[in-house]
Structure 1
Amino acid sequence: MTGVVRFGVLGCASFAWRRMLPALRAHPRTEVAAVASREPAKAARFAAEFRCAATGYDELLGRDDIDVVYLPLPLALRPRWIEAALRAGKHVLAEKPLALRPWDARRLVRLAANHGLLLRDNFLFPHHPQHAQVRELLAAGRLGRLRAFHGSFCIPPLPPHDVRYRRELGGGALLDVGVYPLRAAQLLLGGDIRVVGASLLVDDRRGVDVAGQALLVTKDGVLATIGFGFEHSYECSYSLHGTAAAARLDRAYTPPADWRPVLRIEDEAVPLEPADQIAAAVGSFADAVLAGRSARHPAEARWCAHAVRTVELAEQVREMAITGGWRVA
């Protein structure tokens, strides 16, 4: 392989247009070779903007000028096309979460390992250095003994026909924004966390959840609460509460590249450096491909384990959720 990783984009989603394809075009070790859509006109528009080939789904997987398939398809379609891409011998970077159900996520990870290929879910925020600094704070005992975590990701209502309101495509707030604080809890509290209670607000007309909360706990008794939804003012944060102090981080999951984070510890405001987490994620994946890593590599196996655990925790939230009396017309 050359020093440039060639991406094929399977699905012309708006997030791919606004964020991922510009990042792939800008990074010195990646390029966009082709885009695929079921609508030829949409593929042609993407191809003209990003100066690449336009094609269909199956044709893209058969191209020999593609090393990686980036897959921003709706959740319900991801497992089928992740599997197809892996069987075609392509590494896969898929939007998060990997699958609607845990067994699908576990199956896809095994498939990637068996084929000697990379598979990651495209969570961007773990690549931002602000979270490593929070972990260092915890390790140094600055907060004392950790007792609680609270994470929220809430956004205002979406346009009426947004794909995230479509049940048949895996829509709903839990699997769109709720997975962010779930992943943050894993990142900061460890993988032994489990769900012990939850509630979901369901839109009867659409059949999808539009808001929810969950209570989780670690084996050491650290409590975690998460909140999420499509029916709120904007909130994108987490806080940590220890026996000695509390800390809070705003814009925790989707900070712009020029955002200057501030970690608030009690009355102290600690300025952190801005960072482009999308560029960092793209670079990290490209480096792993160029280094010849697969899902069997220890670091990649850990990422895959986190990806599977996120799907498992979301499943636990659904299983534990109280929805009676919370339905709206």
Structure 2
Amino acid sequence: MTEHPLRTAVLGTADIARRRVLPAMAADPDVELTAVASRDGGRAREVAARYGCAAVESYDAVLERPDIDAVYVPLPISLHATWAGRALRAGKHVLAEKPLTTDLPATAALLELARTSGLVLMENVIFLHHPQHAVVRELVASGAIGRLRAFSAAFTVPALPPGNIRHDPALGGGALLDIGYYPVRAALHFLGSGLEIVGSAFDHAPGAAVETSGAVLLRSPDGVLGQLAFGMDHAYGSAYELWGSAGSIRVEPAFTPPADHKPTLRITDARGPRDLTLAPHDQVAATVRAFVRAVRSGTAGSPDAAQCLEQAALLDTVRARATAHPPHPTGGVRT
């Protein structure tokens, strides 16, 4: 018996949904876009018309529909816990944009709700579904660069318009949760669990109500040091690098490569620098496929619950350390 496509609705019409995730869902034969919901009826109709699905002006109305199996939640960060929770209570599987919530207690509660409800809750960490990162891990594990000694990662984007939701603290705005998430998750991915945040710092662009840049120093249980940088008032940057006792590997762009991009890993070892070019890969389409597989596997909860929890704890610690030592008004940091 052939399973019917996963009937999916979208709560909100955020940029990431319109540009990347909705097209990937529409192209996947195992997904049926059933409805697009927006509190702006015109926007809902505009987006829904592109995919031949229903336009709905109420999120709750979508959750009440019996013809929907799952929902995708690309709402502002502060609304993830509320609407992902309501969707789970309505019996829907959930793919939610990262970060899953704004803090560790809310993340833990949402993951537990998914587990006890017998439903899938997946955090949309798109970059981890690109095979270039698996190749890097295989190279490191094989000893290609010797013993791993240091890791660095940076993700920065140009200044955003003043009205952008990332500038609104009430909506979960700020560079840490939206931009800093990537280098922190990359550190967790490559260095493993048990990371210690040694120190962190934030900076604010003039007049900003949220942090617009930050830096983190961390250490793994086996002594590998990591340096992370992030910001939303910068030239674009998306890269990470691993240094070993006998070489290094650099990946750029690391986090948001286009589907047609051929990744090039820059490897430097005893033979000197060389490039390893990989085949293009659509990481957004791969994420959608992973969500469908998780739902069809029949396994309740999150496929990466442990990582979600540790990521949330790391982000909480980064913020606590940074806000405990705010910049001095005349420059420098208070001690």
Q: What TM-score comes out, normalization by structure 1 length?
A: 0.95
Superposed CA offset, 1:129-187 (max 9, x none): 00000010011011111111000000110122111111110101111110001111111
Q: Is the 8 A contact 1:10 1:72 kept in 2?
A: yes
Q: Is the 8 A contact 1:6 1:66 kept in 2?
A: yes
* Corresponding position of 1:286: 292
| Alpha-carbon RMSD | 1.5
CA distance in 2, matches of 1:291, 1:10: 24
Q: Is the 8 A contact 1:156 1:230 kept in 2?
A: yes
Superposed CA offset, 1:207-232 (max 9, x none): 20100100111111111111000111
Counterpart AA for 1:126: L
Counterpart AA for 1:256: P
Runs of 4+ in 1 over 6 A off after TM superposition: none
* Corresponding position of 2:18: 17
Q: Is the 8 A contact 2:205 2:233 kept in 1?
A: no
CA distance in 2, matches of 1:201, 1:309: 24
The gaps in structure 2 that reach 5 residues or longer are none
* Corresponding position of 1:325: 328
How many equivalent pairs are there?
323
In structure 2, the residue corresponding to 1:70 is in which secondary structure?
Answer: strand
* Corresponding position of 1:110: 112
Superposed CA offset, 1:274-305 (max 9, x none): 10001111011112212222217xxx1xx121
In structure 2, the residue corresponding to 1:185 is in which secondary structure?
Answer: helix
* Corresponding position of 1:73: 75
* Corresponding position of 2:27: 26
* Corresponding position of 1:130: 132
Q: CA deviation at 1:202?
A: 2.2
Question: Does residue 52 of structure 2 align to residue 51 of structure 1?
Answer: yes
Question: Does residue 159 of structure 2 align to residue 157 of structure 1?
Answer: yes
Q: CA deviation at 1:41?
A: 1.4
CA distance in 2, matches of 1:25, 1:247: 36
Q: What TM-score comes out, normalization by structure 2 length?
A: 0.93
Superposed CA offset, 1:230-254 (max 9, x none): 1111110000001010110001110
CA distance in 1, matches of 2:16, 2:140: 33
In structure 1, the residue corresponding to 2:29 is in which secondary structure?
Answer: coil
CA distance in 1, matches of 2:152, 2:239: 8
Counterpart AA for 1:142: A
CA distance in 1, matches of 2:170, 2:206: 14
Counterpart AA for 1:222: V
Counterpart AA for 2:126: L
The gaps in structure 1 that reach 5 residues or longer are none
* Corresponding position of 1:254: 256
Percent identity reads 45
